[in-house]
Amino acid sequence: MKLIILDRDGVINEDSEEYIKSPEEWTPIPGSLQAITDLNQSGYRVVIVTNQSGLARGLFDIDALNAIHQKMQNELGKIGGHIDGIFFCPHGPKARCNCRKPKPGLLLQASQRFFSDNTGIISIGDSLRDLQAADNFGVRHIHVLTGNGVKTKEMISHRNDVPVYDNLYSAVQELLNN
C-alpha cells in the first residue's frame, strides 16, 4: 500500500503564529486539496501527522480541533478527496512524549494503522521537525516551501536527498508523473 504522510499547518492549510484555533481560521493553501484528491485517485492512502500544542496551551479544545478537521474533510469531499487518518500530538513542546515531532511516534502509529512498512511511505512537510521525524522513522521526505518552508530550506540546504517543491500541489504532480 502506498502511504503519504502530510504535515497539516503550512502544507495543507495556511499556517499562523497565533495557531489555527477554529474552522473559520482554517484556509487551504491553493492547490493543496486538489493534490490530496489526486493522491487519493492514484491509489495513495493520505494521512496527516501534526503537532497540535495549542491543545496543551489551552488555545483551543478537542471539539475545535475536530471541527477544523471536519471542515477540511468537507472541503476535500466537494472535489472527491479525503484524508484516511489524522494523527496529532496534543502535548506541549516540553513534553517528553514520543508522539511530538521530531520524534517518530505518530509516523509509527500511522504506518501500523495502515499496515505499511517504511519502504513505501513518503512524508511531506514544511519544517525541520517534519524532516527529522521522517529521518527518525526511516522514510523518504519531500520538503515544500509553503508555511515555514522557505526558512527551513536554508537549514536543510546541505541535504541533497531531500527534494524541494514550491507547494504540495507541485510536489504531488512530480511524484505522480514519475
Looking at CATH, the fold of the domain delimited by 2-176 is given as: Rossmann fold (3.40.50)
pLDDT of residue 125: 98
**Cell numbers placing 159:** 541535504
pLDDT of residue 115: 86
**Cell numbers placing 63:** 471539539
Residue 28's contacts (CB-CB under 8 Å, 6 or more residues apart) are 12, 13, 14, 72, 75
pLDDT of residue 116: 81
* Domain residue limits, the chain: 2-176
pLDDT string in tens for the chain (178-residue length): 699 999 999 999 999 999 999 999 999 999 999 999 999 999 999 999 999 999 999 999 999 999 999 999 999 999 999 999 999 999 999 999 999 999 999 999 999 999 888 888 999 999 999 999 999 999 999 999 999 999 999 999 999 999 999 999 999 999 999 8
Length of the chain: 178
pLDDT of residue 17: 92
9: three-class secondary structure by DSSP: strand
Catalytic residue positions, numbered: 7, 9
**Element housing 67 (H / E):** helix 62-77
Residue 68's contacts (CB-CB under 8 Å, 6 or more residues apart) are 20, 22, 23, 25, 26
What pTM was computed for the model?
A: 0.96
Listing from the earlier edge strand, what are the strands of the sheet with 121-125?
85-89, 44-51, 2-6, 121-125, 140-144, 164-165
